Structure 1
Amino acid sequence: MENKHRCEWCGEADVKEGKGNVYWELPDGTRAITIADVPDIKCSACGMEYQEEYVINEIEDQLMLIETKKLSDVITYEDLLKIPRFLKKNYFRF
């Protein structure tokens, strides 16, 4: 099975899908949280580990549309996405 990904940094095809932790500042700027088990790409060639844009957008949209004051300092990606939203979508994303 051919790998569908190429590293966005160096262009090599030797990448693996995995999960990792990210550190995210809340939209109101009051603090940062750790989001665990976030889907990521790891490149064997250049060593970069990064999230694809759709994952970044999911996190940013979710944090814009939920009550962030009640979030713990660490939450899993899956649990973050399960939190009910105030609005159905981020109307600022065009």
Structure 2
Amino acid sequence: MDICPWCEIEKLESVTDSVYWELPDGTRAIEITDTPSYYCDNCRALFQSDEVVKGIEDQLFLIDTRQLGNQTSYDELMKIKRLLKRNYFDF
């Protein structure tokens, strides 16, 4: 990602940060630490790429979320064994 989607400046910094995500069943939210993110120093926006967002959403949809605590790292989340190979509801 080269351009900030908010202010359209071409200077983004790759960082990791905590994000908070609601589980697909809506029962609670969890903190996902060390999530790959981008930071724009111009408008101070902190955001994740579409690919990271889709990866988190698919993973949370495909795992047994009851095994998650209130906090996990991005890498730990992505390593959890899936109940299905892929999200068959993503058309």
Q: Once the two structures are aligned, what percentage of the paired residues are identical?
A: 46
Q: Determine if the alignment matches structure 1 residue 31 to structure 2 residue 28.
A: yes
Q: Please show how residues 14-93 of structure 1 align to structure 2 within 5 Å.
A: 14-93=11-90
How many aligned residue pairs are there? 91
What letter is aligned with 1:31? Answer: R
Give distance in 2, aligned partners of 1:41 and 1:5: 10
Aligned-residue RMSD, C-alpha: 0.8
Give distance in 1, aligned partners of 2:67 and 2:86: 20
Give distance in 1, aligned partners of 2:5 and 2:35: 17
Question: Which 4+ residue blocks in structure 1 deviate beyond 2 angstroms?
Answer: none
Structure 2: 5+ residue stretches without partners: none
What TM-score results when the alignment is normalised by the length of structure 1? Answer: 0.94
CA drift at 1:14? 1.5
